[in-house]
């Protein structure tokens, strides 16, 4: 449970950095508290997408993973970010990613920041 909480916080932080750096990734809300709550909801959606959908996509793209020496991972991560945006739109959550290349850059930012946060944040494996 603690590990899930840490990963959600790391996802929220990484998403916040991507939203802050890229004007085509937007998070809306009437107040700072509403935006923070929206960010947590988006982090949960993003986590669920990565837990449920990403492994299937990775298995299907394994030959491309070998062929591109792993670079396809960035594309898969971008697709997971776009899927998160789509699910957020379905649930009427104020989060949107505009365009594939924005998603690629956003996925790169999120990967780097979430890796750094996971190094710093505690987990239950210790």
Does the residue 126 lie in any domain? no
- Is residue 125 situated within a structural domain? no
pLDDT value of position 124:
62
Domain assignment present for residue 37? The answer is: yes
- Residue 30 sits at φ, ψ, to 5 deg, of -75, -25
pLDDT score of 3: 80
Q: Which residue has the tokens 């989060």?
A: 95
pLDDT at 86: 97
Domain count, the chain: 1
| pLDDT recorded at residue 1 | 66
Question: Residue 123 has what pLDDT?
Answer: 67
Average pLDDT per block of 10 residues along the chain, 126 residues long: 82 95 94 94 94 92 91 94 97 96 96 88 65
Residue 80 has what pLDDT?
Answer: 96
Residue 56 belongs to domain spanning: 2-120
Give the model's pLDDT for residue 114: 86
HEC per residue, 65-119 = HHHCCCCHHHHHHHHHHHHHHHHHHHCCCCEEECCHHHHHHHHHHHHHHHHHHHH
């Amino acid at each position: 449970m603690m590990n899930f909480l840490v990963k959600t916080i790391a996802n929220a932080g990484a998403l916040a950095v991507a939203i802050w750096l890229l004007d085509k990734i937007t998070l809306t809300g009437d107040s700072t508290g509403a935006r923070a709550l929206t960010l947590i909801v988006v982090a949960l959606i993003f986590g669920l997408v990565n837990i449920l959908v990403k492994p299937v996509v990775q298995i299907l793209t394994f030959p491309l993973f070998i062929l591109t020496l792993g670079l396809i991972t960035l594309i898969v991560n971008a697709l997971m970010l776009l899927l998160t945006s789509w699910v957020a739109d379905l649930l009427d959550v104020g989060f949107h990613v505009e365009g594939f290349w924005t998603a690629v850059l956003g996925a790169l930012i999120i990967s780097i920041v979430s890796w750094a946060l996971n190094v710093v944040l505690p987990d239950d494996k210790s």
